[in-house]
A and B are shown apart, each in its own frame.
Chain A
Amino acid sequence: MTERNQRQRRPAPGLIFFLATSGLTLILWLVHPAAVVRAVPFFVSLLGRIWPVLIFVFGLLFLSNLFLSPQLVKRWLGHASRKRGWLIAIAGGILSSGPIYLWYPLLRELKEHGMRTALAAAFLYNRSVKPALLPLLIYYFGWGLTLILTVYTVAFSIIQGLIVERAAGSVTSPHVRA
């Protein structure tokens, strides 16, 4: 049997994860049904809230598949991008909305096209700066804390990016391939 056939016979990790989570939920439902019943309305409301972001992210994925070449990604987000790459990753992270996990497919696609690992990590770290929620953060904790925390978060996203890149290299996961 060829390696390709073996790979095709192996179930997808995403499917295994789904089956494991479903199994866990089923066991919880058998042991403590109220815990699962309580989670259902939240699941439905979460599903209702994320679909616009899901469409947006996969729209971007489609556009990147259509227009982005590895050369272009390398120039804008690769090692040669320098300050420009960092600015794009930081601004992208701050401006991106929706749950973090919706952005993984797009980041993987960009990484496969040549995006620096450090910039992917910086993008994810900067998602903690939420412009829409800044007034609320100021309301709860004051402008001083908000300002200092925001500046440090952006600055440390670069440090984190460099650490992650040094540790993880620029190899993309072989588990989920488009």
Chain B
Amino acid sequence: MRMALKKTGKALLQALPILASVLMLISLAVANIPKAWYARLFTGTVFDPVIGAAIGSIAAGNPLTSYIIGGELLRRGVSLLAVIAFLLAWVTVGVIQYPAEAMYLGRRFAVTRNLTAFVLAIAVAALTVLTMHIAGIVPRVAP
């Protein structure tokens, strides 16, 4: 019992500066990037899914925020493919959290996981749009 408490306490002490750093970076990013800024980066070309995944990778915060921004992007004419890539990358890729992930789970793990999550965000988005098209499902955009 004492051993487990000591080990957990030590892990918590080691985690605190890392967590504080990630919180600082996320706060700076979220507070200083206005939501309207995201829409300006899309070009209306075939590169939009990559741009969507790239923005989602750098952005941080509650997934709910990504839904709101995603809905706004769809209303502004950004493709569904790019918006889904953005939504997926928001929750699966973590550029800001990368240093913490590398410290805990290894650099190779963090690099591979984030890179594959980036590629998969685009691939899953493409498959989702294709499946919706085949099934005849029309995407809904919240009012």
Secondary structure of the B contact surface, majority rule? helix
Are B31 and A145 in contact, with the CB atoms below 8 A? no
Are A14 and B18 in contact, with the CB atoms below 8 A? yes
Measured between alpha carbons, how far is A141 from B128 in the docked complex, in Å?
12
Are A65 and B103 in contact, with the CB atoms below 8 A? no
Given contacts A101-B19, A133-B64, A163-B112, A144 and B91 within 8 Å (CB-CB): no
Is B46 positioned at the interface, with any CB of A under 8 Å from its CB? no
Are A145 and B104 in contact, with the CB atoms below 8 A? no
Given contacts A35-B28, A39-B31, A148-B128, A105 and B11 within 8 Å (CB-CB): yes
**Chain B stretch 58-102: residues in CB contact (< 8 A) with chain A:** 63-64, 67-68, 70-71, 74, 80, 84, 87-88, 91-92, 94, 97, 99-102
Is B40 positioned at the interface, with any CB of A under 8 Å from its CB? no
Is A136 positioned at the interface, with any CB of B under 8 Å from its CB? yes
Are B18 and A111 in contact, with the CB atoms below 8 A? no
Are A153 and B88 in contact, with the CB atoms below 8 A? yes
Are A120 and B28 in contact, with the CB atoms below 8 A? no
Are B17 and A58 in contact, with the CB atoms below 8 A? no
Measured between alpha carbons, how far is A152 from B85 in the docked complex, in Å?
13
Are B101 and A141 in contact, with the CB atoms below 8 A? no
Are B18 and A160 in contact, with the CB atoms below 8 A? no
From the candidates B5, B71, B104, B127, name the one contacting A62 in the complex (CB within 8 A): B5
Is A89 positioned at the interface, with any CB of B under 8 Å from its CB? no
Contacts of A169 in B (CB 8 A): 108
Is A121 positioned at the interface, with any CB of B under 8 Å from its CB? yes
Are A17 and B28 in contact, with the CB atoms below 8 A? no
Is B32 positioned at the interface, with any CB of A under 8 Å from its CB? yes
Are A14 and B103 in contact, with the CB atoms below 8 A? yes
Contacts of A61 in B (CB 8 A): 8, 11
From the candidates A25, A109, A144, A163, name the one contacting B116 in the complex (CB within 8 A): A163
Are A144 and B135 in contact, with the CB atoms below 8 A? yes
Measured between alpha carbons, how far is A141 from B67 in the docked complex, in Å?
8
Task: For residue A129, give the distance in angstroms from its CB to the closest CB of chain B.
Answer: 9
CB 8 Å contact bits of A35-60 with B (1 = contact, 0 = none) = 11011111100110010001000100
Measured between alpha carbons, how far is A107 from B106 in the docked complex, in Å?
11
Given contacts A13-B103, A169-B108, A176-B104, A25 and B94 within 8 Å (CB-CB): no
Instruction: Please list 16 pairs of residues, one from A and one from B, whose beta carbons are closer than 8 Å in the complex, sorted by A's number.
Output: A12-B17, A17-B99, A22-B21, A38-B32, A46-B26, A58-B11, A107-B104, A136-B64, A141-B67, A141-B141, A144-B135, A148-B128, A148-B135, A160-B120, A168-B109, A173-B102
List A residues at the B interface (Cβ < 8 Å): 12-15, 17-18, 20-22, 25, 28, 35-36, 38-43, 46-47, 50, 54, 58, 61-62, 65-66, 99-102, 104-105, 107-109, 111, 117, 120-121, 124-125, 127-128, 130, 133, 136-137, 139-142, 144-145, 148-149, 152-153, 156, 159-160, 163-164, 167-169, 171-173, 175-176, 178
